Structure 1
Amino acid sequence: MTIHLVGDLLVLAVTLRVFGQDVLMMLRRLAAAGVRTGISEIHRRPRTGKGDR
């Protein structure tokens, strides 16, 4: 293992430590938005074309 590889692994570890929580929060918000979209699609009424609701 060269010193460059060790340096790259350390930079990767620090980056994951610093930004890891932010990435997890962003993934959770994306998942919640997907769930909300799916629920709204389930509850949406089909259009009959006659103008009634």
Structure 2
Amino acid sequence: MSETDLQAKIDRLQAENDRLLHHLPIPKEGFLVVRQRLTSVQRIANRSIATEP
């Protein structure tokens, strides 16, 4: 899987997460916390993709 494929997959999953999160009865603050976690997970994923040989 190329980096472009992985990034496309991450983008698709993130869009799906956003769509699903809007259906959950989470208060706005809770949604922002979840969003921050997703963003930090994505940063970690991007870092590991970047450091792969």
TM norm structure 2: 0.48
Question: Higher Cα Rg: structure 1 or 2?
Answer: 1
